Amino acid sequence: MKRLPEALRRRLHNAWRRWSLWALLAALLVVLLGTLVWLAGRYEMSQLQNRLESDAAAAVLDIRGALARNAQSLQALQPVPGRATPREAWEADAQALLRERREWVRIEWRDPALALLAHADTPYQPPLFERTGRDNAHSDIALACATARRFGGPAYAPSYFVAQPDGRGLEVMELCLPLMQARGPTGYLLATYSLQDMLANLTSTPLRRSAELSFVEPDGTRLALHGNAPRGRRVFTAQQLLDLPGNSLMLRINSVRSAPDLFPNVLTALVTAMSIALVTVLVQLVRDNRRRLRAERGLADALAFRKAMEDSLVTGLRARDLQGRTTYVNPAFCQMVGFSAAELLSPQAPAPYWPPELADDYAQRQAVRLAGHAPPRDGFESVFMRKDGSRFPVLIIEAPLIDAQGVQTGWMSAVLDISEQRRVEELSRASQERLQATARLATVGEMASLLSHELNQPLAAISSYATGSMNLLRDGAPPAADLAMAIRRIAEQAERAGKVIRSVHDLVRRRDQAREAVAPQALLDAILPLVNLQARKLQVQVCIAVDDGLGTVWCERTMIEQVLLNLARNGMQAMDGIATGERVLWLGVRRAPASESRARAPDWLEFSVADAGRGIAPEVARQLFTPFFTTRDEGMGLGLSLCRTVVEQHGGHLGFEPHAPRGTIFRFTLPARPMTPPAAATTD
């Protein structure tokens, strides 16, 4: 035999290999598709079987629930204890119940010995026991009632067959419900179920239309049947146990659907599903490609935005890795230190912006940070060096640099040049010192003004008493008592002048004055000589009204006397130009109204000074307590301002209001007993 040429033989070999590979691929595809078709058929059959099992379980639940409701309805026929129930009335109620429950064929009322008292038969078929009687079922009834008596509730007897006159029969089951009282059962109610009617009436309509329902015994014997006979090569069957007190039944459901055909349903569905899957995958790939492009454009825009934002910052940004090497600096940092990014990113050590004299300290601080000790998040101050050698202070705030996987890769620092801030702070400090010096000068001026204002009255009194003494001496030998009184008054006013100087000095220096409990009458008595002296000069009548039982006030006596004296003097001067007989000054003390005490202390006393002058004009009232404001040419404008300051230091309030029928009344309050000083605040 002639051998084939080598080239032809090689070509045939390659063609055989190529076709064998295609054949193998086709065989694999056929096996794969066949396996898919078989698995799809198995899946559909399992789905049908699972659905049938679920229907059987639901049917058992429906039957059990219907039996429970029937037992409750049967219990409604129970005779009322202690009252006789006519047999005809009970049978009428039982007939009504049988018309509602088609699954019942008979209801009986029996005594404790199971003797029949009354009964009713269903109207939908001839009496069930008309031919055979009830004696043959007495044992089943006794067994069910014994079980019901033991459980204290309804119980069921095993099912049995009852023949009918037409040659057919019914499989029935007895339900026994005991009529219980405290001494035990007083009777029983029996309901006879038809198993076939139970299937027809106690299951759902869709299930009865789509399946064959039957009650069977454990060995497979059919007891009752309802529904259409199944057709097809394969019938799906499901069974569920109906467990009842005293009896158990097996519910069998045969599906009228046969096993699914493989062609064309499964194959068509499979090919369609694969085609849809391929198209879906293609669409998803296109969408994924578009999303990727959009993400890339978004990243490019974000990078450009981040670059523009970093270039516009005035805060220097610096990133370093875990080894301390600088990996990133922004233009603001380069401009701050004067070095280029290439010079700052070089791995040289120490950093070019570290001052040489501080390089060792900075290296140690960096080593501590790299060892895992995080710097404070509120920042720390340091000193950097520019390229020209000049130093400048900076504030550094550092935070861990975390990558996308949550791992720390270094440190990110925000560097602020605080040279301008330090310059502003220095200017502010100098300005504060100048303001403090000015305030001290103003305090000295205020002290001098207050002293000159407050010393006028005691000095004027001293001058008046000295002039009177000289007049007495010039007129001849004066009475010793008058001269002694004048000298005593001069000494008292000199002492008052000293107290005024000390009080005003303490007031300006904000010291706590020595306070004491003083009777209100004592305060008025202390100022009456001076008030009466000026009242006689101005022809003013002074009236005093002090309520009884007021107790004492807690105050700095000298300052409160000065307040009363200032208000009294202002009141008498306000009556200049009023007829002589109408010039009256009222000084009064009473307990402050509750609305004014404001619960700040247990009790307050109110002092009042009222005049009969022309009153205060509205434009004057708005700035009456303003320092250095006065309506008199010789006044200094500090009297009322000082009075309000003194009263407020005591915790009280100074105010004024019109005085009927004419004039003005000034009122101020003082605490009636010591107020507990507030606890001093503590600082860390």
pLDDT at 282 over 70: no
Report the pLDDT value the prediction gives residue 543, as an integer from 0 to 100: 92
Helix axes 557-574, 480-508, angle to 10 degrees: 110
Beta strands in 113-183 (DSSP E): 116-121, 155-156, 160-163, 169-181
pLDDT at 41 over 70: no
Of 96-110, 193-207, 595-609, the poorest mean pLDDT is in 595-609
Report the pLDDT value the prediction gives residue 544, as an integer from 0 to 100: 92
Collapse the DSSP code of 673 into the 3-class scheme (helix H, G, I; strand E, B; otherwise coil) and give the result: coil
Angle at 225 between CA 234 and CA 163, to 5 degrees: 145
Q: Give the rounded distance of the alpha carbon of 547 from its chain centre.
A: 56
Q: What percent of the chain has pLDDT over 90?
A: 5
191-206: pLDDT as tens digits = 999 888 888 888 888 8
The residues, any chain, with a CB within 8 Å of residue 60's CB and separated by 6 or more, are: 240, 241, 242, 251
Report the pLDDT value the prediction gives residue 680, as an integer from 0 to 100: 37
The residues, any chain, with a CB within 8 Å of residue 560's CB and separated by 6 or more, are: 518, 523, 553, 646, 650, 670
pLDDT at 606 over 90: yes
The residues, any chain, with a CB within 8 Å of residue 165's CB and separated by 6 or more, are: 126, 130, 131
Q: Mean pLDDT throughout 325-337?
A: 84
Q: In the beta sheet, which residues pair with residue 121? A: 106
Q: Is residue 4 very low, low, confident or very high in pLDDT (cuts 50, 70, 90)?
A: low
Q: Is residue 182 very low, low, confident or very high in pLDDT (cuts 50, 70, 90)?
A: low
Choose between 159 and 496: higher pLDDT. Answer: 159
Report the pLDDT value the prediction gives residue 608, as an integer from 0 to 100: 93
Q: How far is 96 from 85, CA to CA, in rounded Å? A: 16
pLDDT at 44 over 70: yes
Cα separations (Å) of 537 from 141, 208, 359, 453, 544? Answer: 131, 125, 86, 20, 19
Q: What percent of the chain has pLDDT over 70?
A: 76
Q: Is residue 610 very low, low, confident or very high in pLDDT (cuts 50, 70, 90)?
A: very high
Report the pLDDT value the prediction gives residue 677, as an integer from 0 to 100: 45
Q: Is residue 76 very low, low, confident or very high in pLDDT (cuts 50, 70, 90)?
A: confident
Q: Mean pLDDT throughout 647-652?
A: 86
Q: Mean pLDDT throughout 279-305?
A: 77
DSSP 8-state assignment for residue 158: P
Q: Mean pLDDT throughout 172-186?
A: 82
pLDDT at 673 over 60: yes
pLDDT at 375 over 60: no
Q: Mean pLDDT throughout 463-467?
A: 75
Report the pLDDT value the prediction gives residue 3, as an integer from 0 to 100: 60
Q: Is residue 295 very low, low, confident or very high in pLDDT (cuts 50, 70, 90)?
A: confident
Q: Mean pLDDT throughout 224-231?
A: 72
In contact, 567 and 609? CB cutoff 8 Å: yes
Q: Is residue 607 very low, low, confident or very high in pLDDT (cuts 50, 70, 90)?
A: very high
Report the pLDDT value the prediction gives residue 588, as an integer from 0 to 100: 93
Tally the residues of the chain: 684
Choose between 143 and 449: higher pLDDT. Answer: 143
The residues, any chain, with a CB within 8 Å of residue 613's CB and separated by 6 or more, are: 571, 574, 575, 576, 578, 662, 663, 664
Report the pLDDT value the prediction gives residue 80, as an integer from 0 to 100: 66
Report the pLDDT value the prediction gives residue 270, as an integer from 0 to 100: 65
Domains of the chain (ranges, CATH numbers): 63-255 (3.30.450.20), 313-417 (3.30.450.20), 421-511 (1.10.287), 513-677 (3.30.565.10)
Q: Is residue 634 very low, low, confident or very high in pLDDT (cuts 50, 70, 90)?
A: low
Choose between 148 and 309: higher pLDDT. Answer: 148
Q: Mean pLDDT throughout 31-45?
A: 68
Task: Say which amino acid occupies 188.
Answer: Y
pLDDT at 258 over 60: no
pLDDT at 535 over 60: yes
Q: How far is 469 from 58, CA to CA, in rounded Å? A: 126
In contact, 222 and 214? CB cutoff 8 Å: yes
Q: What are phi and psi of 269, to 5 degrees?
A: -65, -35
384-399: pLDDT as tens digits = 888 888 888 888 888 7
Q: How far is 257 from 230, CA to CA, in rounded Å? A: 7
Q: Is residue 666 very low, low, confident or very high in pLDDT (cuts 50, 70, 90)?
A: very high
- Mean model confidence pLDDT for the chain: 77
Q: Mean pLDDT throughout 267-279?
A: 64
Of 65-79, 99-113, 486-500, the poorest mean pLDDT is in 486-500
C-alpha closest to that of 544 among 557, 527, 561: 527
Q: Is residue 323 very low, low, confident or very high in pLDDT (cuts 50, 70, 90)?
A: confident
> Residue 520, preceding bond cis, omega within 30 degrees?
no
Report the pLDDT value the prediction gives residue 304, as an integer from 0 to 100: 80
pTM above 0.75, yes or no: no
Of 14-28, 151-165, 508-522, the poorest mean pLDDT is in 14-28
Q: How far is 47 from 41, CA to CA, in rounded Å? A: 10
Report the pLDDT value the prediction gives residue 207, as an integer from 0 to 100: 81
**Sign, CA torsion 671/532/487/461:** positive
Q: Mean pLDDT throughout 622-639?
A: 65
Please give the radius of gyration of the chain, using alpha carbons only, rounded to the nearest integer: 58
Q: Is residue 419 very low, low, confident or very high in pLDDT (cuts 50, 70, 90)?
A: confident
pLDDT at 31 over 80: no
Report the pLDDT value the prediction gives residue 500, as an integer from 0 to 100: 66
C-alpha closest to that of 395 among 414, 412, 420: 414
Report the pLDDT value the prediction gives residue 665, as an integer from 0 to 100: 93
Choose between 352 and 133: higher pLDDT. Answer: 352
228-240: pLDDT as tens digits = 665 555 677 888 8
Report the pLDDT value the prediction gives residue 596, as an integer from 0 to 100: 46
